[in-house]
């Protein structure tokens, strides 16, 4: 079982729910580290003070802020822990909103919320009420060394907390918008809608795999066993699209063929199962 990274309480109105918070995700990757290419020796980094030249143990490292005039303000762990944050131990739901109102660009990380002791009943109450109303609760929470906006929402039998960026941390996207003079014709939009319809399906996370990680694991295994390193798979890059409608029609036809091939495989395997039965 993972270790709780925060303990506190969630409150709404006069109801207080003692909870623990756990990371909802766990990165899975091939662990690589830096080595000297000549002899394979591990590259190590040392924390060295640029003034006295001494290596500094982690427990003696504090935070610092450099002002515009060059002066450095040292902030100790005690300074940071004593900041007057109401959200440090208890998060209070200030507003209930429709989750669909929030642009996904604001979402940062998801945490699992576990009820403690007497908090189970109000936890279930909040979960069921949010699920029934389609709402999520907006809170502020202090995790580690910063305060974040967050959203508490139901996820199956659980409540989860999604930390979010502050509005001033979200970049104004207008610079990346296409020229307002460029328009897609109604026929092009209709054809694109047809293509989207052909390619639509249900979200099945298990159908997606990390191809890069698989290739990296194969490369590491080959090198460990002294085998031939796998040849990279060559893919043809897409050329410049000259006729948009022709490209859309070709895309729709290709999607139809893929759909027929999948249907054929399904019906074929159904026949085999019937014959076997």
- Domain assignment present for residue 212? The answer is no
User: In terms of domains, do 152 and 261 share one?
Assistant: no
User: In terms of domains, do 101 and 164 share one?
Assistant: yes
For residue 194, give its domain range: 177-199+243-269
Mean pLDDT of 76-93: 79
**Model confidence pLDDT, tens digit, residues 164-214:** 999 999 999 999 998 888 888 999 999 999 998 988 889 898 998 888 888
Last residue of a domain, one of 169, 191, 221: 169
User: In terms of domains, do 121 and 187 share one?
Assistant: no
User: In terms of domains, do 135 and 12 share one?
Assistant: yes
pLDDT of the residue at 223: 82
**Model confidence pLDDT, tens digit, residues 97-108:** 998 999 999 999
- Domain assignment present for residue 41? The answer is no
User: In terms of domains, do 16 and 122 share one?
Assistant: yes
- Domain assignment present for residue 164? The answer is yes
User: In terms of domains, do 188 and 161 share one?
Assistant: no
pLDDT of the residue at 269: 45
Alpha-carbon gap, residue 52 to 218, rounded angstroms? 46
pLDDT of the residue at 52: 94
DSSP letter string, 94-115: -EEEEGGGS-GGGEEEEEEEEE
- Domain assignment present for residue 15? The answer is yes
Least confident of 30-44, 69-83, 197-211, 220-234: 220-234
User: In terms of domains, do 117 and 249 share one?
Assistant: no
User: In terms of domains, do 101 and 139 share one?
Assistant: yes
Look at residue 275 and tell me whether its pLDDT is greater than 80.
Answer: no
User: In terms of domains, do 149 and 193 share one?
Assistant: no
Model's pTM, two decimal places?
0.73
Number of domain units in the chain:
2
CATH number of the domain within which 107 lies: 2.40.290.10
Sheet containing 6-12: give its strands across.
Answer: 90-92, 6-12, 15-23, 107-115, 158-164, 146-155, 135-143, 95-98
Higher pLDDT, residue 225 or 73: 73
User: In terms of domains, do 12 and 121 share one?
Assistant: yes
User: In terms of domains, do 110 and 195 share one?
Assistant: no
- Domain assignment present for residue 16? The answer is yes
Mean pLDDT of 115-124: 95
CB 56 within 8 A of CB 49: yes
Higher pLDDT, residue 87 or 147: 147
3-state SS, residue 66: strand
pLDDT of the residue at 267: 47
**Model confidence pLDDT, tens digit, residues 11-24:** 999 899 999 999 99
- Domain assignment present for residue 69? The answer is no
pLDDT of the residue at 168: 94
Mean pLDDT, the chain, whole residue set? 86
**Model confidence pLDDT, tens digit, residues 216-273:** 888 888 888 888 777 776 666 555 656 878 888 888 888 888 776 665 554 444 444 4
Last residue of a domain, one of 150, 169, 188: 169
Least confident of 47-56, 125-134, 245-254: 245-254
Confidence of residue 112 (pLDDT cuts 50, 70, 90): very high
Share of the chain above pLDDT 70, in %: 88
User: In terms of domains, do 109 and 147 share one?
Assistant: yes
Look at residue 138 and tell me whether its pLDDT is greater than 70.
Answer: yes
pLDDT of the residue at 209: 87
pLDDT of the residue at 159: 97
CA proximity to 183, closest of 244, 250, 240, 238:
244
Bridge partners (DSSP) listed for residue 20 = 7, 114
Alpha-carbon gap, residue 103 to 99, rounded angstroms? 9
Look at residue 135 and tell me whether its pLDDT is greater than 60.
Answer: yes
């Amino acid at each position: 079982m993972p270790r709780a990274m925060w303990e506190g309480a969630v409150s709404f109105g006069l109801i207080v729910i003692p909870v623990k918070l756990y990371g909802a995700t766990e990165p899975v990757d091939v662990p690589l580290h830096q080595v000297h290419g000549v002899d394979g020796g591990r590259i190590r980094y040392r924390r060295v003070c640029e003034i006295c030249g001494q290596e500094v143990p982690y427990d003696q490292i504090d935070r610092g802020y450099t002002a515009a005039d060059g002066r450095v303000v040292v902030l100790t762990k005690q300074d940071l822990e004593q900041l007057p944050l109401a959200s440090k131990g208890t998060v209070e739901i200030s507003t209930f909103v429709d989750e669909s109102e929030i642009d996904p660009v604001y979402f940062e990380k998801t945490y699992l919320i576990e009820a403690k002791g007497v908090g189970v009943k109000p936890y279930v109450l909040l979960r069921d009420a949010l699920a029934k109303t389609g709402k999520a609760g907006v809170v502020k929470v202090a995790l580690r060394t910063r305060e974040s906006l967050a959203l508490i929402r139901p996820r199956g039998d659980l409540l989860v907390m999604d930390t979010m960026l502050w509005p001033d941390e979200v970049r104004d996207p207008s610079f990346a918008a296409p020229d307002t003079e460029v328009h897609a014709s109604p026929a092009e939009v209709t054809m694109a809608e047809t293509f989207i319809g052909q390619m639509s399906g249900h979200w099945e996370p298990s159908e997606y795999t990390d191809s890069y990680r698989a290739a990296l694991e194969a490369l590491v295994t080959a090198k460990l066993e002294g085998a031939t390193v796998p040849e990279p798979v060559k893919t043809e890059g897409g050329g410049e699209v000259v006729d948009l409608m022709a490209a859309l029609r070709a895309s729709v036809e290709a999607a139809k063929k893929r759909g027929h091939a999948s249907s054929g495989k399904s019906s074929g395997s159904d026949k085999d199962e019937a014959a076997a039965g």
